[in-house]
Amino acid sequence: MMAALFAILALSLMFTLIGFKQSVWALWLIGTLLCVVMFFHHATDTLKILW
């Protein structure tokens, strides 16, 4: 899953180099949202404190 996140951000950088701005936005957003999900997956106690 983490490898996929790096791949998504690498793809986002590739689209930056090519010049497809909308794709960069979409991939960055998907990547960041998945990062937040992964953070709470690895730090469930943080979620409990926030709840």
Partner 1 sequence: MQKNINALIVIILSAVLLGAFGFQFIKHEEPCPLCLLQRLGMLGIGIGAAMNVRFGIQMNHYGIMLLSSIFGGTVALRQIALHVCPTFPLFGIPFMGLSLYTWSFLVFACTVLAVALLLVLYDIKKESSDKTPMNELGSFALWLLFLIAIGNAVATYFQCGLGPCVD
Torsion sign across C-alpha atoms 39, 43, 44, 46: negative
Question: Does the footprint of partner 1 cover residue 47 (CB under 8 A)?
Answer: no
**Contact mark string toward partner 1, 23..42, x via CB under 8 A:** -x---x--xx--xx-xx-xx
12 touches 27 (CB < 8 A): yes
Enumerate residues 6+ apart whose C-beta is below 8 A from 47: 40
Task: Please state the closest distance from residue 49 (CB atom) to partner 1, in A.
Answer: 10
What residue ranges bind partner 1 (CB under 8 A)? 1-7, 9-10, 12-14, 16-17, 19, 21, 24, 28, 31-32, 35-36, 38-39, 41-43, 46
